Structure 1
Amino acid sequence: MSVFEGFTGRQKRSANSRFQRTALRAAAEPERWAACGHLPEPNGRTVIPTLHLMCGLPCSGKTTLARQLASTHRAVRLTPDEWHTRLFGQDADSPEHDVRHSVVESLQWEVAVQVLYQNVDVILDFGFWSKSEREDYRSRGDEIGAEMRIHYLNVPEKNRDRHYLS
């Protein structure tokens, strides 16, 4: 049973099938994966980390699912809203809010790259509302040799409002 059931609508894959797929890719292109910094583990297996993108509107449950995934996959979760609030407080009405948020996301991407190079999965809890943004990060992940998984949460507006009010 996959932890993604009911959340993504994508084909479910067991941990074993993920390992098999990763092993096949690494065996077919060993120079590429080594060049990306993904070296074999002490047991001889090549591990390719996964970059998880949380996609959905505000209050759709992205962070809740990201926390579950982080625990299940022993992944690093990067949520800009948490960093932003700690650094700048609740500044949604501030003219600098969007610039600050972009800086936080940029810093988190730098952290994500370093973590992925250590063969550790990363969860970016950015929202990824636009297709162009998803494609941008898909391309970035591919450049560094990471697997990619998009988790799309399609929650009706009335349920998002209820989540926000609770």
Structure 2
Amino acid sequence: MTAIPTLHFMCGKMAAGKSTLAAQIAKTQHAVLLVEDDWLSTLYPEEVRSLADYIQYSERLKKTLQPHVEDLLGKGISVVLDFPANTVSQRRWFTSLIAATGVEHCLHYVDKPDEVCKAQLKIRSQNLPAGSPFTTDEAFDAITRFFEPPQSSEGFMIQQYQQE
């Protein structure tokens, strides 16, 4: 019996554990894992210095990868996108992928309190060079103010993970 191809994608605040979960899902589901941070740091290593830069290069990357993701899904291969689905606007891309392919999907919502995310951010940032973007409590607060939890009215199949 062949598994039904599924598009998996992540929602949650910075440092909530989305990337760890994405890697686990890819492994257990034998899916292709595409990680936005890896692509951006390889393709645009010096260009992403602000939130505005991130938005610009993230949109460019999504346009580039969309046909590839659609092709994988069309060939019956499940895909895990470690790209944020943290705002209604960001989730539109995933909606377009689902509409174009007609595949099953799951929005994995990692719901953790700010304090937990900030503690995890400190741990994650320990090995980064001083001054790296998006590593401080201030950066967390600045980005988190845009966060919009997914709503059932958006039409996604949502699996929620809460603080243990």
Measured against the shorter chain, the TM-score band is: 0.5 to 0.7
Gaps of 5+ in 1: 1-44
| TM-score, normalised via structure 2 length | 0.65
Higher strand share: 2
Structure 2 equivalent of residue 113 of structure 1? 70
Say how many residue pairs are matched.
122
Structure 2 equivalent of residue 59 of structure 1? 15
Structure 2 equivalent of residue 76 of structure 1? 32
Amino acid paired to 1:100: Y
CA distance in 2, matches of 1:144, 1:131: 20
Q: Which is higher, the Rg of structure 1 or of structure 2?
A: 1
Q: RMSD across aligned C-alpha pairs, in angstroms?
A: 2.1
Structure 1 equivalent of residue 108 of structure 2? 151
Kept in 1: contact 2:70–2:97 (CA 8 A): no
Once the 2 structures are TM-superposed, how far is the Cα of residue 153 of structure 1 from its aligned partner? 0.4
Structure 1 stretches of at least 4 aligned residues deviating more than 6 Å after TM superposition: none
1:141 pairs with 2:93: no
Q: CA offsets per residue over residues 45-80 of structure 1, 9 Å max, x none?
A: 565310111111211111110000010001011111
1:61 and 1:116, CA in 2 relative to 1: closer, same or farther beyond 3 A? same
Kept in 1: contact 2:8–2:107 (CA 8 A): yes
Q: CA offsets per residue over residues 99-141 of structure 1, 9 Å max, x none?
A: 2221112223222111111101011111111235435523531
Larger deviation, residues 47-56 vs 119-128: 47-56
SS of the residue corresponding to residue 126 of structure 1 reads strand
1:143 and 1:102, CA in 2 relative to 1: closer, same or farther beyond 3 A? closer
SS of the residue corresponding to residue 4 of structure 2 reads coil
Structure 2 equivalent of residue 50 of structure 1? 6
Gaps of 5+ in 2: 124-164
Identity %: 30
Kept in 2: contact 1:58–1:127 (CA 8 A): no
1:90 and 1:67, CA in 2 relative to 1: closer, same or farther beyond 3 A? farther
CA distance in 2, matches of 1:141, 1:65: 21
Amino acid paired to 1:144: T
CA distance in 2, matches of 1:144, 1:59: 30
Amino acid paired to 2:41: T
